[in-house]
Structure 1
């Protein structure tokens, strides 16, 4: 099994991975997505763009909307922001979740042609590694979405390092990677207490390795990406 890394904001003139692609967004898109599935959501529809997400929301039955703009502020008029701790108390049983965010969703759209595509974060890292191994991947590309001009993205790099170590059957201490999430540039914004839409409870959830026992494979149905629990 071969491994590579791509950074979402540095993709110009780089080849597109087509075998197994793992798009990582620890803070917070794919931690939020994992919570939504754990709370009973039937499926998550990751949509790039608020206008497109609003249109899809209007077409889907039994739907709720989850969204945030760059920096983490919620999309006005949506049911939920991109906050996993907020969703922990939400009744999402049987709901279709339309999600639009600045990084993770964009990453999925960019690699939608991959043979195997996964959305992941630290909370489902071990389950993701198990799914990749079971699928018999030849090449695994980790896509880091959290690196920006003002953020090191180490929360996502840590998750990639953890999954790769698991796939290599190396001995690992999950808490090492959780600490890197907390100490990343973006992680420290949650602990600072000066960003009202970056609650500390979100960081606490995002830094819990293997909190959920499922992977989040992404499929394409009628030209729309869908995240749902494996059958």
Structure 2
């Protein structure tokens, strides 16, 4: 199995084989918590305008979730916060999701044979799935902060999945703790508490909390259906 690590939108554009788009803070952590809290369907879109348009087209109950510059766009129901997903009434609803990095990483992975979405919360399940399907090539794309700056947590998640696939089981506890004073320090800044609360940090770094993967399929409409697949025991 050939395993490569890439970064940013450029990395997703260049990705080949089974591709894992990684966004720990916070896109795919949010998606996992939303599925765990009862959403029926998740659709990833490029931006707020596409989200508004899709909401008008769908007859199902929808919630708009996402961010631009880390903050909830006007007219959205929720920001890109796992804390909000824990307390929201999401049962049976369709979630339309857009973020600066994660969802756009999905939509740009056009050369991939299969696309999975990962954060630390489901990294082990992703590695388990890849070990089962045994693709010849795997590309792990660390999307980074706003898809333009390397993010410690995304690189950590990519290397953790790579380690698991290569038979190693690293202990990330110290590295996760160090994120509090590194790329995760923004969650502890009082100026950000309304849209990036400290609880988001702990929810996003709860390693292997979920035993399911998120599989993304881009449709002819240009959106991506993101489906939960449980991995079992």
Per the normalisation by structure 2, the TM-score is 0.90
State the 1:5 CA deviation: 1.5
Query: 1:62 maps to what in 2?
Result: 61
Residue 195 of structure 1, CA deviation:
1.5
1:45 is matched with which residue?
Answer: 43
The verdict on how the C-alpha distance between 1:209 and 1:85 changes in structure 2, with shifts beyond 3 A counting, is same
Q: 1:149 to 1:217 in 2, by over 3 A?
A: closer
* Mapped pair 1:227 → 2:226: yes
User: When the two structures are aligned, how many residues end up with a matched partner?
Assistant: 227
1:163 maps to which of 161, 164, 167? 161
Contact 1:45 1:227 in 2 (8 A): yes
Residue 147 of structure 1: how far off its partner (Å): 4.0
Match of 1:192 in 2: 189
Partner of residue 208, structure 1: 206
Distance 1:76 1:29 in 2: 18
Q: Distance in 1 between matches of 2:215 and 2:147?
A: 29
CA distance 1:177–1:221, shift in 2 (3 Å): farther
CA contact (8 A) 1:43 1:227 kept: yes
CA distance, structure 2, for counterparts of residue 157 and residue 106 of structure 1: 18
**Partners of 1:159 and 1:177 within 8 A in 2:** no
Matched residue, 1:100:
98
Alpha-carbon offset, residue 172 of structure 1: 1.4
CA distance in 2 between counterparts of 1:3 and 1:165 reads 10
Tell me what 2:3 maps to: 3
Q: CA separation in 2, counterparts of 1:16 and 1:83?
A: 29
User: Which ranges in structure 1 are unaligned for 5 or more consecutive residues?
Assistant: none
Mean CA deviation greater in 89-98 or 219-228: 219-228
- The offset of 1:148, in angstroms, is 5.5
Unpaired segments ≥5 residues, structure 2: none
Q: Could you state the TM-score of these two structures normalised by the residue count of structure 1?
A: 0.91
Alpha carbons of 1:42 and 1:222: their partners in 2 closer, same or farther (altered >3 Å)?
farther
RMSD across aligned positions (CA) = 2.1
Distance (Å, rounded) in 1 between the aligned partners of 2:178 and 2:120: 11
Displacement of 1:218:
0.9
* Displacement after TM superposition at 1:158 (Å): 0.6
Distance 1:171 1:95 in 2: 36
Deviations 1:91-129 (A, max 9, x none): 212111000111101111110441110111000000011
Residues 114-153 of structure 1: pairs in structure 2 closer than 5 A: 114-147=112-145, 151-153=149-151
* Contact 2:46–2:104 under 8 Å retained in 1: yes
Once the two structures are superposed, what CA deviation does each residue of 1:109-164 show, in whole Å capped at 9, x if it has no partner? 11044111011100000001111111221111111112459854111001111111
2:33/2:82 contact within 8 Å kept: yes
